[in-house]
Structure 1
Amino acid sequence: MMEWVIANMAPLMFGALVLFLLFGYPVAFALAANGIVFGLLGIELGLLTPALFQALPERIFGIMANDTLLAIPFFTFMGLILERSGMAEDLLDTIGQLFGPMRGGLAYAVIFVGALLAATTGVVAASVISMGLISLPIMLRYGYDKRLASGVIAASGTLAQIIPPSLVLIIMADQLGRSVGDMYEGAMVPGLVLTSLYVGYVAILSILKPNTCPALPPEARTLRGFKLMLRVLTTLVPPLVLIFLVLGTIFLGIATPTEGGAMGAAGALILAIARKRLSFKLLKQAMETTGKLSSFVVFILVGSTVFGLVFRGVNGDLWVEHLLLGLPGGQVGFLIVVNILVFVLAFFLDFFELSFIIVPLLAPVADKLGIDLVWFGVLLAVNMQTSFMHPPFGFALFYLRSVAPSSIKTTDIYWGAIPFVCIQIIMVAIIIVFPNIVSYGDPAERARIEQQGESGGADLESLMRGEAGSSSDNKDSDNSADLLKNLQSNDK
């Protein structure tokens, strides 16, 4: 019996984690408890040494000293200040007036505002709640179908998941060991394509079923001509400037993501002051929510670190690699199975939990199969976006339900979300079929370094640990050092 337990420690540990999560235990504590219990069991069975736990303090300190994670509170604070200072309301009103004469105009306005909020806030809850409070009553008042209105609002809010500065991309970059700037740059085009698919769906629906999304009546379009143009300029220009301040400086290499987030937070405060909407109460609420979300992320990261340390100690990473590398179809088979797995798990776990539990297990296998990890991270981020939209557990649906009027049933929200979940799945397929849609950095430089890495034959992981490889597998130390230096500079 003990021999069987020792031989199957990794699957038992993973199964116990799933059991804890199904019972509803907090993810951070379920991860940490599993790691500690199975670590002690492994020590008792002689599979592990007590010295394993001595690495924990250093790893936890490494989390606290991780500069990349500083971007999370900055971007969260920026989004909350902008959302609570009324930017979403102004944008929806202005773009609604601009697209009002068109069938589906309000739906287009919600989608475009969702994309703009995503590029300035990066917080799904803020986007969905804001647009649900502001636009949903207006859409219902002018005869929009309940399901379409609900689906458009929930789906547009989830664009904050994939369009930079997305919080999930920061975490994904940290877990994959890649640059946040590369993740942002790689996700920009897929985010815009997904937004276009939403617009296309509404356009098709406005032709096939015009009664579901009528145009605004003339009496509702209060702004015309010069007044409308002035409103567009004064409302759209400030957030667009802020987007460039944050993302433009990151893409151009002028600022790191953390510095960009700090500039964005300062810019959000300036915009709120300019609109005379900054108050001590608003500031306090934004800081409290930012502190809670940041603590939530760090606690899950600490728990996943404990779990990951023990899981690797019992050769869990080798067990996962053996399962996934043995799949038929090579890269394509791996990608199909992984995306189905993430899609199913998204019914029960949110993107934070998926990022900290699943991604560290999948990344080494993807790397061994020759899959670019930035591309892989963007693909998983698009897939994880469905975790907000899955009936019946999607968080975006819960956020919308909390602010929707009683005339909208929960089933209306669920049915409205399904077409947009299908669009998100189509977007996953598009990224797999057209991988170049995820582009970042200098393609020629990336190709050169990848070619050098293939010809060098050096085990990068061993180099990073400072371990010596066999002479037959490695080139001379100068080439290895140059390769490592090039790869590190490319990540930066």
Structure 2
Amino acid sequence: MELFFLLLLVVLMAFALGSGFPVAFALPGSAILTIGIAAGAGALFGTGADAYFSHGSAGQWLSAGVTNFRGIYWEAERDTLIAIPLFVFMGIMLQRSKIAEDLLVTMARLFGPVPGGLGISVVFVGALLAATTGIVGATVVAMGLISLPAMLRNNYSVPLATGTIAASGTLGQIIPPSIVLIILADQLASAVDQAGSLRQSLYKANTGELSMPSDFSVVSTSAGEMFLGAFLPGLVLVGLYMLFILGFALMNPKAAPAVHEEGTFTRKFAVKVVITLVPPLSLIFLVLGSIIAGIATVNQAGAIGAVGAMIMAGYRLRDGEKGAYTPAIIGIIALLGLAVVISFIGAVNIKLIQTSQDLLGLVLAVIAVSLLMIAIFWSGWRTLKLEDTLRGVMVETAKTTSLVFIILLGAAMLTSAFRAFGGEELVKEFLQGLPGGFWAQFLIVMLVIFILGFFLDFIEIAVVVVPIVAPILLADPSANVTAVWLGVMIGLNIQTSFLTPPFGFALFYLRGVAPAVVKTIDMYKGVIAFIGLQLIALAIVGLYPQLVNYLPNRSTLLSETAPPPKNPRLQYCMETLVYEDFQQNGSSILAAIDKAESVDMSYLPKDIQKDMAKGFEKAREALPLMKEIRSAEEAVNAAAGDYRPVHREVRALERDARRVDEHIAELEVVVRRSGDNGIYTQAQGDRAQAKIDGLTAERDALLAQIPAEWEDIYGKFSTIQKAETKARQTYRRTVDQAYEPILELKAILLDADKVASFEADMEALKTEIPQLEPKAAVDAIAALRSKVGEAEGTSDIRKGLSDARKIMRSKTPNAEEAIAKVDVSIAALKEDLEWRRKAAAEILPALQSYDGAIIDSIGLRQQRRLPNDMALDVASCLSGHRDISLSF
């Protein structure tokens, strides 16, 4: 019966959407009706209102969607959705202030002399508007009103002209900042959590291990990473559009002729190009650049974009009038002032004013911020008073944002209803049962999304399909794809929904403003080529995941909050790079070890000498251990060829058997609760028992298909695989032991002057102790002891202070005895300083030279962060997808 109600849910939703019922109410309405009907049918014909739900109750599922949505929206760590109204405001403000119109007219004149120049200018402006507005409807309407008449006047092919405008208008869906990317990031954040649990369960079931290595975990994503990931694919798509138009124009010049306009390339026009082009590009740089540089979150960048759009609208609405650019100029001066303050004085904090330079920085920062606020309020006042622009923008922003959130709420309810009837399990079983593994599943999902794009809007697809399929795809260890790659691929696919008839929204927008001479059939013809280009871009990004993953990885590894080199996720790529370094520079590293070991360290304390000797020994072991890793890795790769097919077959059989066991467990509950005192009748219990018998036979038949030699095959491969794991762990432990003594000795020697400064403090303490009460003396000794402890290698010096504190804390405190113990610390300090200063002069330079030779190899794991050049290499290495299925 669950399957019947699942089908009813889909039919109701399709009927509601097909009849033109608002999406915001069709999604939750179909969910509420289906759950209500199922609950009523269960109460009337079953064992209760919950009889026809795969698990849970009707009340739980009715409230689940709202509860889930509320939890996502109000969760402090996942406030991504707040960026939506900010970017919507930015886009509508730029549209209403006619800045988009200026871009179209100016770029059309600039590109006109090039074959297909008008079409190329439309794509160029579409990309710019996508990076500033991201609103498809507004962009298509604007370009349709301005560019389409010009293209038709210049004898452009009608299909080419309409297809170019419609396709260029959809670029806002993939070029950041994009609302669909924000929604996808939000949906994928939940999907990653579910995928992580699925992968952990899979690892436990297949290996018997309770905990999965953290480098096998599913990596989450954010709106900022989605923006970075979509940037290069967006440029690829723009490039494909431009190349297609140029190639079409060269092959068929009459269909896309060059347009030569008198007086175009003049100084006045050059100024116009700069004034028109620079502000939007600057806004793009501020918004996306602040995210890429890690200066601002997506929400903060959205606020920057909204304010920047309002300032731009402030001068555009008074175009040609005196003082039109005054607020914008004031804003630019303020930003430059803040940049100067940060560059020369640093971060300004009113609570940390200590020097006159800090005070000067605060004053200058207050002046700059005041000027910026004046520019913002002045521009805001203009947009409010001129053509009632601000009010109109606010109303449209509220409408659009409300629509998005209502659809998100409805979709959360629909998804809950889908899960209530076991729909998620059905989809999971279907996808995992497909031959071909992950890529077969992925292609089916992409095909379904593409087909749904013919009928549904991008928001419905993103919030209904993604929560169901994304956890399944992300959990698969064979492809081990990243969430950001999956999100960008889905985003590229969803983009086609604006062009695919019969409900291609970009076609509707363009039809509304196109002249009567443009036939609808011509518009449909025009978009076919661009749909093909979008699919080509989808294939390119699918084949080269580095286009998506590289920028997010680069940004993460170069940021101030970059993960340390000990992060498990980085180890595989780091060791690959270190192996290459050992191959090239192994002899020089060994020479550096020999040279450092030959330095006279006989006067250092015995424990330090012992640690350094062990460190040099471990450093020598690092190179052969790295070769062992490579040999073990090659052995795994050699064995994997024969092992992989058997492994895949057995794991599929075991997966199917586990699925049958889950069904058996559910039926066993019915059997236990049947009878005179149960909630199920005896007949229902008997039917459940009969099903259990059949399923048990099915499970046994599945397990019987596992080859008899599987345990032996698995054992042999597992031994080879464990040898690689052990080699890597041994190497990591060895290089840590090799480098830690260097860090400790360097810190000890660099603290020589700091240790010397403690002598005066101890002499002063000797004077204070007789004058203080015992408790106050204990506090004074403890404070100095803690201060001495801040320097490295001072345990011997602190011993006397510890004894002095113990004496003054005893029942019979004795100041003279305490002073004597302080003298012990002073003597230890003088003895310590003798070897520290000598070693700082003789050993430290050699130690620093040795450190420089091994810091990027043997010492890499002990650094606070990766060096920039290696961070770039690791980012490139991490950008591919690594198959880890043989570890499951």
Q: What TM-score does the superposition give when structure 2 sets the normalisation length?
A: 0.48
Matched, 1:181 2:224: yes
Paired position in structure 1 for 2:534: 424
1:226 pairs with 264, 267, 280, which one? 267
Paired position in structure 2 for 1:20: 16
CA gap 1:109/1:307 in 2 versus in 1, 3 angstroms? same
Deviation of 1:304 after TM superposition, in Å, equals: 1.4
Paired position in structure 1 for 2:80: 68
Paired position in structure 2 for 1:247: 288
Q: Which amino acid aligns with 1:325?
A: Q
Matched, 1:102 2:114: yes
Whole-angstrom distance in 1 between the partners of 2:128 and 2:430: 41
CA gap 1:246/1:282 in 2 versus in 1, 3 angstroms? same
CA gap 1:157/1:51 in 2 versus in 1, 3 angstroms? closer
Matched, 1:295 2:402: yes
Whole-angstrom distance in 2 between the partners of 1:452 and 1:12: 50
CA gap 1:203/1:298 in 2 versus in 1, 3 angstroms? same
Whole-angstrom distance in 1 between the partners of 2:229 and 2:73: 27
Q: Which moved more, 1:190-199 or 1:78-87?
A: 78-87
Matched, 1:441 2:552: yes
Paired position in structure 2 for 1:206: 249
Deviation of 1:253 after TM superposition, in Å, equals: 1.3
Contact in 1 for aligned 2:90/2:306 (Cα 8 Å): yes
Q: Which residues of 2 match residues 304-453 of structure 1 at below 5 A?
A: 304-369=411-476, 370-439=480-549, 440-442=551-553, 450=569
Deviation of 1:292 after TM superposition, in Å, equals: 1.0
Whole-angstrom distance in 1 between the partners of 2:60 and 2:495: 39
Q: Which moved more, 1:386-395 or 1:157-166?
A: 386-395
Q: Which moved more, 1:115-124 or 1:433-442?
A: 433-442
SS in 2 for 1:204: helix
Deviation of 1:28 after TM superposition, in Å, equals: 2.5
CA gap 1:23/1:92 in 2 versus in 1, 3 angstroms? closer
Q: Which amino acid aligns with 2:137?
A: A
Paired position in structure 1 for 2:305: 264
Whole-angstrom distance in 2 between the partners of 1:382 and 1:371: 16
Whole-angstrom distance in 1 between the partners of 2:571 and 2:24: 40
CA gap 1:228/1:340 in 2 versus in 1, 3 angstroms? same
- Over residues 401-445 of structure 1, what are the superposed CA-to-partner deviations in whole Å (9 max), with x where a residue is unaligned? 111111211111111111111111111111112222112422678
Unpaired stretches in structure 2, ≥5 consecutive residues: 40-48, 190-220, 319-382, 573-888
Aligned residue-pair number: 447
SS in 2 for 1:438: helix
Whole-angstrom distance in 2 between the partners of 1:330 and 1:15: 30
CA gap 1:11/1:321 in 2 versus in 1, 3 angstroms? farther
Whole-angstrom distance in 2 between the partners of 1:6 and 1:144: 56
Q: Which amino acid aligns with 1:180?
A: A
Deviation of 1:30 after TM superposition, in Å, equals: 2.2
Deviation of 1:314 after TM superposition, in Å, equals: 3.1
Higher RCO structure, 1 or 2 (CA under 8 Å, sep 6+): 1
Paired position in structure 2 for 1:197: 240
CA gap 1:451/1:37 in 2 versus in 1, 3 angstroms? farther
SS in 2 for 1:442: helix
Contact in 1 for aligned 2:65/2:415 (Cα 8 Å): no
Paired position in structure 1 for 2:144: 132
Contact in 1 for aligned 2:113/2:259 (Cα 8 Å): yes
- Over residues 73-132 of structure 1, what are the superposed CA-to-partner deviations in whole Å (9 max), with x where a residue is unaligned? 111111111112111221122222221211111111111000000000011111111111
Contact in 1 for aligned 2:88/2:397 (Cα 8 Å): yes
Whole-angstrom distance in 2 between the partners of 1:214 and 1:333: 44
Contact in 2 for aligned 1:124/1:396 (Cα 8 Å): yes
- Over residues 307-348 of structure 1, what are the superposed CA-to-partner deviations in whole Å (9 max), with x where a residue is unaligned? 222332333222211111111211211121111111111000
Contact in 2 for aligned 1:172/1:377 (Cα 8 Å): yes
Whole-angstrom distance in 2 between the partners of 1:266 and 1:93: 25
Deviation of 1:11 after TM superposition, in Å, equals: 4.5
CA gap 1:113/1:57 in 2 versus in 1, 3 angstroms? closer
Q: Which moved more, 1:185-194 or 1:37-46?
A: 37-46
Whole-angstrom distance in 2 between the partners of 1:305 and 1:164: 25
Whole-angstrom distance in 1 between the partners of 2:2 and 2:493: 35
Whole-angstrom distance in 2 between the partners of 1:314 and 1:451: 41
Deviation of 1:52 after TM superposition, in Å, equals: 4.5
CA gap 1:56/1:125 in 2 versus in 1, 3 angstroms? closer
Contact in 2 for aligned 1:119/1:163 (Cα 8 Å): yes
Contact in 1 for aligned 2:66/2:413 (Cα 8 Å): no
Q: Which amino acid aligns with 1:371?
A: V
Q: What TM-score does the superposition give when structure 1 sets the normalisation length?
A: 0.86
Whole-angstrom distance in 1 between the partners of 2:465 and 2:312: 39
Q: Which amino acid aligns with 2:487?
A: G
Whole-angstrom distance in 1 between the partners of 2:427 and 2:569: 25
SS in 1 for 2:502: coil
- Identical aligned pairs, as a percentage? 45
SS in 2 for 1:183: helix
CA gap 1:171/1:105 in 2 versus in 1, 3 angstroms? same
- Over residues 187-234 of structure 1, what are the superposed CA-to-partner deviations in whole Å (9 max), with x where a residue is unaligned? 0000000000000101111111000111113xx343214223222211
Contact in 2 for aligned 1:366/1:373 (Cα 8 Å): no
Q: Which moved more, 1:315-324 or 1:121-130?
A: 315-324
Q: Larger radius of gyration, structure 1 or 2?
A: 2
